[in-house]
Structure formats: C-alpha cells, structure tokens
A and B are shown apart, each in its own frame.
Chain A
Amino acid sequence: MHTEHAAAIHAPAAHETGGHDEGQQHPIKLYLVVWGWLFVLSTFSYLVDFFGIQGMMRWTLIIVFMMLKAGLIVAIFMHMAWERLALIYAILLPPGAVLFFVATMTVESTYTVGDRIEYFGPTPVTEVTINTSHH
C-alpha cells in the first residue's frame, strides 16, 4: 500500500545529486502521534522494571516494546516505510548476519559458563586475596 503512496509523493529527483526537494511530506500530526506512542512504549518498558516483572515475561515484554519502538523510529521517523523495497532490503537484510553472530555467542557463552562452573566451582573464590600490586 505504502508504495503507491510513495509514487505519489515522490516526484523523481530533480537532480542527481541534489535529491528531491519535494521529499518526504507527511502531516505533522503523524509525527506527533508516533512521538506519543514512543513515550507510551518507553513508559511501558520502564514499568516492566518498576514492577519487577521477572523471567520469560520480562524478556518478552522488553523485547516486544523494544521492537515496536525501533520499528516506529525506523519506519516513520526515518521514512523507511516510504522508501522503495530495493533500499529497504539492502538495509534490513544484512543485520541477519549479526543475529546469527549473536546466536553463536549465546551458545558459546553458555558453554563457557557451564565449563567454568563445572571445573572452577560454582562460586567465585573470595577468600583468596588478589594481588593488586601489579598494574
């Protein structure tokens, strides 16, 4: 749907380098609404902590609010929603590599901490004084 919109609002670039002065024109109200939503969502994330919600619930809520906020900023404030798919894909697909990296490191660090607990004991050594003279 938004692509037709895009076609309507974008007269093609008047000039190769100058871009298009007709550019992004949307009613100011749209920005105010998004602004409001960002406030609301931030408040929600804050309340998650305020009420001390823990466990899976906490994670789900945090991530959901985070993604919603990120989505609003990228789609509306950064005008991604009105860009053509060519640009959208070029920007949104590569971070997949990062997500894969994150998944890898999640497994890796779980493995590390498991090893540490198994071989070094679960609790850190506190009674041994650490020599701080070096450094």
Chain B
Amino acid sequence: MAVAVVLVLVALGSVVFHMLSPWWWTPIASNWGFIDNTILITFWITGAVFVAVVLFTAYCIYTFRHREGLRADYEPENQKLETWLGLGTALGVAAMLTPGLVVWYQFVTVPEGAAEIEVVGQQWSWAYRFPGPDGKLGTTDVRYIGPDNPLGLNPSDPNGSDDVIVDGGDLHLPRGGPIKVLLRSTDVLHDFYVPEFRAKMDMIPGTVTYFWLTPTRDGTFDILCAEYCGVGHANMRGTVVVEDAAKQKAWLSQQKSFAELSARGRTAAR
C-alpha cells in the first residue's frame, strides 16, 4: 500500500520537479537549437514511458497485493502482447533516433566556406589561432614548440607566418557566420566546451579534431574544459566573446601574427 503511494509520488514528483526546476539549460547562443529540440523530443517520449511504467507498477502493487485466499494467475507468456510491446518500443526509439541522426549529419558536415579557427589546449589554459590574410592555417608540430613559438607552428610553412596567435587572452568570434573550430592539444586530452554553444569536442594530442557552429547571440561566455586533464582540470577556464563581425575584425587586427611574435622572440633572444 505505502509502496504504491510512494511510487505514484515518485512518478508525479519527478514530473513536477521537471516542470518547476530552475536548473534548466543555459540560453542558447548558437545554431544548435536543433540539438535542444532533439532533447525535448526525447524528454517527452521518455517522460511518458517513465510515468506510464511507474504508475502501472503502482497500480499492480495496489490491486494485486497479497490478501488471504488470493491466488496469482498462471500465465507463462503472451507472444502477441510481447510483439506489440516490442513494436511500440521500436517505434518510440525510432522517433528519437531519426531526428538525432539527421542533426548529427548536420553536426559533422561543415558548411562550405566556414571560417577556420584553431583552439589549442594545454595544461591548463587555452590559446587560439586565426588564419591571417591568406585565410589558411599553417601546419604545426608539437616539436616546434619553444619560447617564441608557443603553438608549434611550422617555421618553414608559408601559410603559417601570417597566422594570428592569441595566447592568454579572450577569444572573440564574429556573430552570424559558420565557423569551423579546429581543436588541438599539446599535452593531454582536453575538451573545448561552451555551454551556450551546446557543441563540444575533445582535443587529442597528436591529432586534430573539429566541430562547427554559427554563433547567433552577442555575449560573453565561459569556456570550460570538459575532458579530465589532471589536477587543474576545473581551473582550465577561458572566455569567449561573440560580437558582430566588424568589431571582431577590429579586435583581430590588434593581435600579433606568428611572424611578428617570432621576430620579437628572436630579438629578445639576442
């Protein structure tokens, strides 16, 4: 009896908690509203299943609780029922999976002409690189990294010399256009994660990963590291500023290029 009541309370309480929860996702700032929609679909379907299963359980417990003289039915199986339940579940699963796969297709397909930027993670800070006027990022290698070459650009790659390097500052992104974010790490795994963007991806040392997004809302957002990377993992923060393209361009033009940085490095060394 008490169990049945408690189960009803658990089911309803969970729904009420869901409705009233102040801990809902952070307002979105990218094109990945599709992801939110998929989550919503999933919430609806799974929520309904959860409530149905728990309420039905509660009902059974109440109705078929032991009383003097009660005897259970003998019913080894009912294939028709099981088939229908199986089909219904498959349908529910398909209803969630299909939109999920469609959006995943969008997620892994970078639109033509997306601007490329690079984010580099290291224990426990972020650095960024923009292609210079030539629009191309130069090749890199961890083994080039040195005091005047913090991101390990290939000195002999002409594409790299005009690359703009932001080491230690905030990241500024232009609103409105698709951006392909290339992710690289120089030591261990990290994960570039901005809750408002929804998208995230691990950075793996020894290779380059990516995701893409279109920032849609101006603002200043936290960058977190979402893959455990040692004791400083929780302190590996950064800031990303989304602003309109002109402003972002102005900011970019104030940053140093690789050529400038290494020239400075060479003079300093002398």
Contact = CB atoms under 8 A, between A and B. Distances in A.
Asked if chains A and B are in direct contact (CB within 8 A), the reply is yes
Interface of A: 112, 115-116, 118-121, 125, 128, 130
A121 B143 contact: no
B207 A130 contact: no
A23 B182 CA distance: 64
23 contacts: A112-B206, A112-B207, A115-B207, A115-B208, A115-B209, A116-B206, A116-B207, A119-B139, A119-B140, A119-B182, A119-B184, A119-B207, A119-B208, A120-B140, A121-B139, A121-B157, A125-B141, A125-B143, A125-B144, A125-B154, A128-B141, A128-B144, A130-B143
Contacts of B139: 119-121
A121 to B, nearest CB: 4
A116 B140 CA distance: 10
Contacts of A116: 206-207
**Residue among A118, A120, A121, A128 with most chain B CB within 10 A:** A120
Contacts, number: 29
A87 to B, nearest CB: 30
A125 B206 CA distance: 13
Contacts of B207: 112, 115-116, 119
Interface string B137-174: 00111011000000000100100000000000000000
A128 B157 CA distance: 15
Contact residues of A: prevailing secondary structure? helix
A112 B204 CA distance: 10
Contacts of A128: 141, 143-144
B179 to A, nearest CB: 17
Nearest to B182: A119
B229 to A, nearest CB: 19
Nearest to A121: B139
Contact of B141 (A112, A115, A118, A121): A121
Contacts of A119: 139-140, 182, 184, 207-208
Interface string B197-211: 000000000111100
Nearest to A119: B208
A121 B143 CA distance: 12
Nearest to A130: B143
Nearest to B206: A116
A112 B209 CA distance: 10
A121 B154 contact: yes
Contacts of B182: 119
Interface string B172-185: 00000000001010
Given A119-B140, A119-B207, A128-B141, 10 more contacts: A112-B207, A115-B208, A115-B209, A119-B139, A119-B182, A119-B208, A120-B139, A120-B140, A120-B141, A125-B144
Nearest to B142: A120
A119 B140 CA distance: 7
Contacts of B209: 115
Contacts of A115: 207-209
Nearest to A111: B207
Contacts of B206: 112, 116
A116 B139 CA distance: 10
A133 B184 CA distance: 25
Contacts of A120: 139-141
A116 B207 CA distance: 6
